[in-house]
Amino acid sequence: MVDADNFIVALDVGTSKVIALIAQVTADRELDVIGVGKSPCTGLKRGMVVDIEETTKAISAAIKEAENMASCRVHSAFVGIAGNHIASRNLQGVIHIRDGEVSLDDMERVLENAKTGSVLPDQKVLHIIPQEFSVDGQYEIRNPLGMSGVRLEGHYHLITCGLSALQNLEKCVQGCKIGVDDVILEPVAAANAVLTEDEKTLGVCLIDIGAGTSDIAVYTHGALRYTEIVSVGGDHVTNDIAHVLRTPLAEAEQLKVKQACAQSISVKREEYINVPSTGDRAHRKLERHVLASIVEARYGELFEYIRDQLKATGLIDYLSAGVVLTGGAARIEGAVALAEGIFGLQVRLGVPNIRDQNNGEIVRNPLYATSVGLLMSGRDKMLERRVVATKRPKTLAGAEGIVQRLRAWLEKYF
């Protein structure tokens, strides 16, 4: 096996499974996925680590499977994070432009001004994503660098995570002798994989439905405006089925995956399914619309909650591109139609936008939205480092080092 130093590795540590992808960047900057690994995981609840040993084992198994496919060794990875410890808010910073023209120092100062008092001691900043700037009342400026003026205002979307939750996740990854290149919020990664730039500009809500959580990201005018992690996912649907139909969890999961529909009106009354019972009891014959009504109730509750949040923030009026569903639990029959009825918007199922000739058919699936998005983030950072290395000296310190980091930040977002 060769070392994967020049490859990008994505690690999606989810509530029900861990997905590991290994890819290389082609000459035309596309991703070529050469390794895919997947392992069941029981060490997380609602996106947060509750058992370090079990999570570490699952990560190790997924990585090993991907390594065997790619014939390489993994040393570090881009890791996704979610859970109800995630917090986000929109920030605004205002400063006086020192020399009459916006400089890199001004850009850094307005960012620091916006951050002041926004991060609690038990939180860690994951992302501060710029939305737009204004100079002397001129709004909707994407990059104010070099513009003349007196007053600079910056708007940002801040995303933080619980420090202990992050440390536990990193501990699991590092327990597999794997370094952490970066930790990225999962809906941000998924959005990069399945949304188009036109959708982000027109206004779109991404809903990534996983096993333990449903992750939301809303874009308008090309910028991220809202993120939220909802502690409801596919596992809750499975639990509902198990309790209502009195069937084991494993059988309830199979019923959900193979027989369920999220829109009961679409199911014919004469359709029947076999429902396994607990213990030695015989299987029961049940109308399929009964299963569909159970599933519809939980998905409807989720979509109604998100719709109400979008209404409360006023964002629903700006979603000209509608809603995009992705994630493993978004693949259920009828989910798109149910969402269209509840949101009153156009809805589509989002699959990763990747032109891979090798394993493209495997990863062009909503299940891999987050992991492909993590690969894309890794590719962007790799290309960014190459640009910085070719444009500037490799050794910079002090204030000059700050300038280098800020330039890289500007190149990434603008």
Q: Residue 234 belongs to a domain with what CATH number?
A: 3.30.420.40
Task: Report the alpha-carbon distance of residue 295 to residue 104 in Å, rounded.
Answer: 52
Distances (CA, A) of 14 to 26, 80, 267, 393: 28, 9, 31, 40
Both 243 and 190 in one domain: the answer is: no
Same domain for 376 and 243, yes or no, is no
Pairwise CA distance, residues 243 & 241, whole Å: 6
Q: Is residue 99 part of a domain?
A: no
Q: Is the pLDDT of residue 400 over 50?
A: no
Domain co-membership, 237 together with 319: yes
Residues 54 and 170 in one domain: yes
Residue position matching structure tokens 């990585």: 63
Domain check: are 175 and 215 in the same one? Answer: no
The reply to whether 190 falls in a domain is yes
Q: Are residues 359 and 372 in the same domain?
A: yes
DSSP 367: G
Answer for the pair 187, 209: CB distance below 8 angstroms, yes or no.
no
* 206 and 191 in a common domain: no
* Same domain, residue pair 170 and 47: yes
pLDDT cut 70: percent of the chain above it:
91
The pLDDT value recorded for residue 150 is 96
357 confidence band (pLDDT: 50, 70, 90): low
Q: Which of 306, 329, 351 is the last residue of a domain?
A: 351
Instruction: Please name the residues in contact with 325: beta carbons below 8 A apart, sequence gap of 6 or more.
Output: 207, 209, 335, 336, 339, 347, 348, 349, 350, 366
Return the number of other C-beta atoms located less than 10 Å from residue 217's C-beta: 28
Q: Do the bridges between strand 72-73 and strand 2-3 make them parallel or antiparallel, or are there none, so unpaired? A: parallel
- Could you give the C-alpha distances from 16 to 9, 45, 62, 213, in angstroms and in order? 20, 9, 13, 11
pTM of the entire predicted model = 0.90
Domain annotation covers residue 132: no
The string of pLDDT tens digits covering residues 272-287 is 999 988 877 778 899 9
Angle (CA) 220 222 225, round 5°: 45
User: Final residue of a domain: which of 351, 375, 405?
Assistant: 351
Instruction: Report if residue 71 sits inside a domain.
Output: yes
Contact 219, 131 (CB under 8 A): no
What pLDDT, on the 0 to 100 scale, is given for residue 56? 97
How many domains in the chain?
2
Q: Which two tokens stand for residue 306?
A: 């998100």
> Does residue 117 form part of some domain?
no
Domain-located, residue 402: yes
Length, in residues, of the chain: 414
Note whether 226 and 317 are same-domain residues. yes
Of the pLDDT bands very low, low, confident and very high (cuts 50, 70, 90), residue 185 is: very high
**Same structural domain, 267 and 368:** no
In the chain, the N- to C-terminal Cα span, in Å, equals 38
359 lies in the same domain as 346: no
Give the Cα separation of 391 and 398 in Å (integer): 18
Dist. CA 43–CA 55, nearest whole Å? 5
- Judge if 209 and 312 occupy the same domain: yes
Q: Answer whether residue 26 is part of any domain.
A: yes
Q: Give 126-172 pLDDT, tens digit per residue.
A: 999 999 999 999 999 999 999 999 999 999 999 999 999 999 999 99
Residue 217's domain spans which residues?
197-351
CA 76 – CA 173 distance, rounded (Å): 9
- Answer yes or no: is 22 within a domain: yes
CA pair distance 201, 195, nearest whole angstrom:
10
